[in-house]
Amino acid sequence: MVVDSLKAADLLPILRENIVSEVIVYTDEAGQYKNLGKDFAGHDFVRHGAGEYGRGVVHTNTIEGYFSIFKRGMKGTYQHCAKKQLHRYTAEFAFRYSNRIAAGFDDQGRAHLALAGIKGKRLTYRSTNSIG
């Protein structure tokens, strides 16, 4: 999701809307996350600034792995995308990350999943206002 601000007042409503309240949320030590425990079953964090990257089940390695792949793809393959299309690029990389070799998928399986997703859909060329 593209956001214009990383302020807690802007992020918290988005998090509340997209995360079920029964979960424990793990983040880094960024200040905008400090009150998440009020809205969710719990909140714990790692202190990257202190050299802590994991403490038992508390880590942000999964999301950081995704962003690493996303950033490499954006710099190496796409190099730029418009803000209004960013959600499409993140969705593509979410698909790639969720269906990577480490998750048990090979190229053929990934292609099969991608092609199954287009069944019954027709892609036409229209103005970008109709796609965005």
Residue 38 CB: number of other CB atoms within 10 A? 8
* CB of 46 closer than 8 Å to CB of 58: yes
- 104: pLDDT confidence band, cut at 50, 70 and 90? very high
- Residue 56's Cα: distance from chain center in Å? 22
Strand boundaries in 20-115, DSSP class E: 24-27, 42-45, 54-55, 58-59
What percent of the chain stands above pLDDT 90? 55
Domain residue limits, the chain: 8-58, 63-131
End-to-end CA, the chain: 13
Q: Which pLDDT score is estimated for 2?
A: 80
- 130: pLDDT confidence band, cut at 50, 70 and 90? low
Q: Which pLDDT score is estimated for 23?
A: 95
Q: Which pTM was predicted?
A: 0.73
